[in-house]
Amino acid sequence: MRKTSRRKFAQILKKKRQEGELAEEERFESLIRKCPNMRVLNQIHAHILTHPFLPPSSLSFALSKVLCFAAYRNVQYAKALLSQIPYPSIFSYNTVMRGFLLRNPSPEPIFLFRKLVRKKFPISNTFTLAFVLKCCSSLPAFEEGKQVHKHVIASGLGENLFVRTSLLNFYTKSEEVELGRKVFDEITEKNVVAWSAMIGGYAKAGMVNEAFGLFREMQKGGVNPDEVTMVSVISACAMTGALDLGKWLQTFIDKRGIKYDLEVSTALVNMYAKCGCIEGAKEVFEAMPVKDAKAWSSMIVGLAIHGLAKEALETFAMMEEAKVEPNHVTLIGVLSACAHGGLVAKGKKYWSSMIESGIEPSMEHYGCMVDLLCRANQIKEAYEFVKNMPIAPNPAIWRTLLVSCKKNKMLATGEIVAAQLLQLEPLNAENYILLSSLYASGSDWVKMSHVRRQMKEGSIKDVPGCSSIEINGHVHEFVTGNWSHPEANDIRKVLWEVSERVQSIGHEPWIASVLQNVGDGVKHDAVWEHSERLAIAYGLLKTKAPAIIRVVKNLRVCVDCHEVTKSISKLYNREIIVRDRIRFHKFVDGVCCSCRDFW
């Protein structure tokens, strides 16, 4: 046979072989595309592995198709399959990464990324970088994310908008707002995703003025906000209690024709509830045509933290009737409602139902049960419950017990609880203040002095109390003992008048909570300079009845401020709502109706 004929014959054979391989690949692809479940997929997978004629390239192709199907149904199966593929593509790695990201936070995408780096894969795929950055932000894994940032720079994809936005999301969700802002400022053509991510970062960090400033910049730049943007700025309002701004945002949504999707509506429910306007939360919730578990949970939790136990449980019953599966947040709301309403038997019933249904309780669920028992003065049972917890109790649970011991003057148990608390958080000033209050409740001044000495020797400083109040759409912040506000002189005059009026009806300042070694007069002044009193005084100065005074505080409200606020609500005929780190306190006509004097 001549040389040219042999070459032509070889080419024909190669073409036939390629056509056969292609037909085989198409056959497997068609089978996998029509695959109804994992059981059938296992059979196809087995057939591929035992097929004697598939060359490596076709085998890789067929296994990759199996992997695509498995990644969103059984990601561990897909991960195992990845190691069987002779020549796995970057697409296969990305598919498995995405499969893990669709489930609970897992470090697996980071492990897969490291494997790619070890194999010296060229890291030049935008999806790979975006997926691993998303994993780093959800875990969180800050140091690993910074390493990925270096790979971004090395890959030459630092200018890619998709990758930059992923980096921005990573830094803001890791609460590294300054680093996020640096990435944001380097983006030349900012899209709505970038704006929303940066606004959301400010909102998460509680930087409400920065969030709104950026929101206004976004509008000036001609970028129209979308639903994600609105969720971010509404969340900023929720965090800082900026009700007027939240209302304005709802009007803005209406005027711009922005869609009231589930996320936006739920964010509004949450905002109204956290800003102390439960009526607004109900209105938005009731107008929602479709409600998922997150929406129901937001409403139930909102009602619970406002002390509306009956309504919270009725709403939960409606959720069950609507056949919506409750999530762990829902059950936190339900148990919290029982605690606020003093419904011990119902709380225990819901707890038992939760256990029987196979839901594993989280630390928050255990915390709710301890709160339930403590508020009902069943401290011994609460203490036994904590001792028998299958997971180690966190400081918040021990603090709840310690507050209850203080309230009931149970010094011996309180000391045991305080020892556990101080072992976990030896540098938290709040713990020492609670222990001091325990001794003060039993008039044990010697031990109280010892607590003061411990703080001094350990150089333990109080976290400064910070309270905010919204007036005419602007949030004003006050720090305990800080008189830097532009209207400080006027605030001081109001505070002086309030002090005189409150003392005229018999109030004696509870100065035992001041642990500094100073005279009683100085302690008296220190209590009157607490941040929530400065904020309330500013509210009295700038608003008139019947306007509600709403204050948000970063710490737990002290006993004296709680009593003084009751008196102010009666003397000035003003409804005052204070949201502290624990819960809401609603004061009307000298009565706190939401916490029942336990917080």
CATH of 395-461, one of 1.10.1060, 1.10.3470, 1.25.40, 1.10.1740: 1.25.40
Q: How many CB atoms lie within 10 A of CB 521?
A: 9
Interhelix angle for 379-387 vs 363-375, to 10°? Answer: 160
Q: How many CB atoms lie within 10 A of CB 118?
A: 8
* Strands across the sheet containing 474-479: 474-479, 466-471, 549-553, 576-579, 584-588, 591-592
526, 514 Cβ separation under 8 angstroms: yes
The structural domains of the chain, with segments of one domain joined by +, span 3-88, 395-461, 467-592
- pLDDT of 579: 93
- pLDDT of 10: 42
The two tokens of residue 318 are: 């409606």
Residues in the chain, pLDDT under 70: 1-45, 47-49, 51-67, 69, 510-524, 592-593, 598-599
The two tokens of residue 377 are: 């003065």
Give the span between the Cα atoms of 313 and 305, in whole angstroms: 13
pLDDT tens digits, 315-364 = 999 999 999 999 899 999 999 999 988 899 999 999 999 998 888 899 99
Return the exposure string of 333-342: e unless at least 16 CB atoms fall within 10 Å of the residue's CB, then b: bbbbbbbbbe
pLDDT tens digits, 223-234 = 999 999 999 899
pTM of the predicted model as reported, rounded to 2 decimal places: 0.75
Give the span between the Cα atoms of 45 and 22, in whole angstroms: 18
Residue 468: its H or E element: strand 466-471
Q: Which of 276, 424, 309 is nearest to 363 (CA)?
A: 424
Give the span between the Cα atoms of 166 and 131, in whole angstroms: 8
- pLDDT of 397: 96
Q: Which amino acid is at 361?
A: P
- pLDDT of 12: 42
- pLDDT of 7: 56
Return the exposure string of 212-242: e unless at least 16 CB atoms fall within 10 Å of the residue's CB, then b: bebbeebeeeebebbbbbbbbbbbbbbbbbb
